Structure 1
């Protein structure tokens, strides 16, 4: 079962379950890069230097839940014959000129551009050659990448969302996918954000209409 508060009152009258064909499924791993997705990255170091604890829950959850659960999902998706798609966020150039105005300062502060250490996918979830990687400069992947074309060429219909941040890039990409007809599942214990309440509220809202919220164990059962 998902690890959501018992008070979560989901309204699912119009959110019907759809069957999962593992061979037509994709695990979408969002922004698991050193920039903001690892306790050794720029965001974590900056918070520590400033003596701030704002991101403590984020990084504890990333390393205690998101990384190990995503590893399990990767192994299961490979075994089931599905696809692994990594989504990264960051600029294409060091001056971040290709990023939207509201994203440029963050990319510059995090040294998050293609080729930089901060931009790399973390070692714990390192992709294999057969995996797919798309780089976005926007919050949602569908706005600035060819991910929709890629998924359709791979004949994917079911998407399982993991990564960071729950209420930002993961949710926006998941909503964009739902609006394009994909069967979308947010894997609750394989996502993280800065504040616990934002995480749970995002899951509560998403399951009202956009798609399903499931635990890693529940997803593994469907892939099996």
Structure 2
């Protein structure tokens, strides 16, 4: 059975040596949960679209949300900093959104910060003083002060969960890598619209921008 050292290999890394073991220092590690918000769990009114998206809803409810809840419990128990990112605009009409969120189509998003559909799903509610950053961009670093916050907290490594694998997760992972953070993506706590898109994006980002591992594997990286 393949593990994180051999799985999700793209053409570029098919013949590469296995990476070194990952050892995370809980005091220097953050768990970043990206965009698991109410709006994405609302089935479309059109029955055809609802059917088309049903596999995504099944993965979210059956795998991603339960596994992310486990990740949160694990991180909190280990003293790992827990941070959430969510898409939300400051204005009611969304005039502060980035251009990509104003374009028609799937990525059109109007999520005022106080509206219910912009909130993090109840199963993953932040606790205490856990940090929540709001963004109108794909990358959680580009659109917020997260970069500065991570540096202020003394974070060197970031464990990432959330949606969508091929959009906000990937964009954030690439930004983190460019800032020289170590990044681990938890593949069974992420989703794209389809499993194919999810798997292909993980192959693209694995071993250059991050390492891709399972929930169980990630839990073994911290003593």
Cα contact 2:102–2:109 (8 A) shared by 1: no
For 1:95 and 1:108, locate their aligned partners in 2 and report how far apart those are by CA, in whole Å. 16
Q: Note the C-alpha offset of 1:143.
A: 1.1
1:167-207 Cα offsets, whole Å, 9 max, x none, are 00011101100110111011000001111111000111111
What corresponds to 1:133 in structure 2?
132
TM-score when normalising by structure 1: 0.88
Q: For 1:121, what is the secondary structure of its paired residue?
A: coil
Corresponding residue to 1:67 among 65, 74, 81: 65
For residues 193 and 109 of structure 1, what CA distance do their matches in structure 2 show? 17
Closer/same/farther in 2, CA of residues 200 and 116 from structure 1, 3 Å limit: same
**Could you list the runs of 5+ residues in structure 1 that have no partner in the other structure?**
none
Cα RMSD for the two superposed structures? 2.5
2:181 matched residue in structure 1: 182
**Change in 2 beyond 3 A, CA 1:178/1:16:** farther
Do the aligned partners of residues 179 and 135 (structure 1) sit closer, same or farther apart at CA in structure 2, a change above 3 Å counting? same
Q: 1:163 to 1:108 in 2, by over 3 A?
A: closer
| Contiguous gaps of at least 5 residues in structure 2 | none
Query: Which whole-Å deviations, capped at 9, do the CAs of 1:53-75 have from their partners, x for residues lacking one?
Result: 22222111111111111111111
How far apart are the structure 2 equivalents of 1:90 and 1:175?
A: 21
Query: Match for residue 48 of structure 2?
Result: 51
Structure 1 residues 211 and 108 mapped into 2: Cα distance closer, same or farther (>3 Å)?
A: closer
* Alpha-carbon offset, residue 219 of structure 1: 0.7
Please identify runs of 4+ aligned residues in structure 1 that moved more than 3 A: 1-4, 6-10, 12-18, 105-111
1:105 Cα shift? 5.3
Give the distance between the partners of 1:143 and 1:221, measured in 2 at CA. 30
> What secondary structure is seen at the aligned counterpart in 2 of 1:54?
helix
How many Å separate the matches in 2 of 1:74 and 1:7?
24
Residue 218 of structure 2 corresponds to residue 214 of structure 1: no
Pairwise CA distance, 1:79: 1.2
Measure the CA separation in 2 of the matches of 1:34 and 1:112.
10
Contact 1:15 1:209 in 2 (8 A): no
> Which has the higher mean CA deviation after the structures are superposed, 150-159 or 103-112?
103-112
1:168 aligns with 2:167: yes
Q: Deviations over 1:13-72 (max 9, x none)?
A: 488445311111111000011112x2xx3xx2x2x4342222222111111111111111
Query: Quick check: which one's helix share is greater?
Result: 1
Contact 1:71 1:125 in 2 (8 A): yes
Alignment partner, residue 9 of structure 1: 9
Q: Say if 1:14 and 1:209, in contact at 8 Å, map to a contact too.
A: no
Does the aligned pair in 1 maintain the 2:100–2:108 contact within 8 Å? no
Residues 27 and 111 (structure 1), Cα distance of their counterparts in 2 relative to 1, 3 Å cut: same
For residues 54-203 of structure 1, the aligned pairs below 5 Å read 54-104=52-102, 111-203=110-202
Alignment match, 2:23 = 19
